[in-house]
Amino acid sequence: MSTTPFLPLPDGLDITSISEVSDVLLVQVTSLRPSSVCPLCAEPSSAIHSSYQRKPMDLPCVGRPIRLLLTVRKFFCREATCSRKIFTERLPELLQPSSRLTIRLRNAVQEIGLATCGKGGERLCPKLGMAVSDVTLLWSLHLVPIPAVGKVRPTGYATR
């Protein structure tokens, strides 16, 4: 099964199964990409070391929470000068390293957090099918990039 309009995934990822466990949709996703780029030296590698499973939350579908069971791989870095010998496959269009929320869900949580602050968003999110706490909402706000400030002109001073 490939991706669906209800759960669009980046190229190279495939939905292998969908099941329901206690009001949460579990979506098994496997990476089919033949190689990955080392995050340290940027050299591609197709030498697979192993695989493991990540379990990030994604945007809800029809008001039901979705948890991805994402199988990602570890690769050997064959670059002799690189200090990283084994690295984990990166999926930057879906998930940040070490994140428990997909980029789509993180953006939605940030918007809710900016609009409602922690407690209001904590009450709203379950009604939208997002099982996140007020701490997650507030922590997500720390990840929002701060816009650059241009030249500041002081006001209230006499100019000479």
- Express each pLDDT in 53-106 by its tens digit: 999 999 998 888 999 999 999 999 999 999 999 999 999 999 999 899 999 999
How far is residue 62's CA from residue 52's CA, in Å, rounded to a whole number?
29
Return the residue matching tokens 């697979």. 48
Query: Which CA distances in Å does 70 have to 59, 116, 130?
Result: 15, 31, 19
Phi, psi of 4 (to 5 degrees): -125, 165
User: What is the DSSP code string of 106-146?
Assistant: HHHHHHHHHHHHHHHHHHHHHHHT----HHHHHHHHHTSPP
Query: Is the Cβ–Cβ distance between 38 and 87 less than 8 Å?
Result: yes
pLDDT band at 159 (very low <50, low <70, confident <90, very high): low
pLDDT digits (tens, 9 = 90+) for 41-59: 999 999 999 999 999 999 9
Instruction: Compute the average pLDDT of residues 1-24.
Output: 83
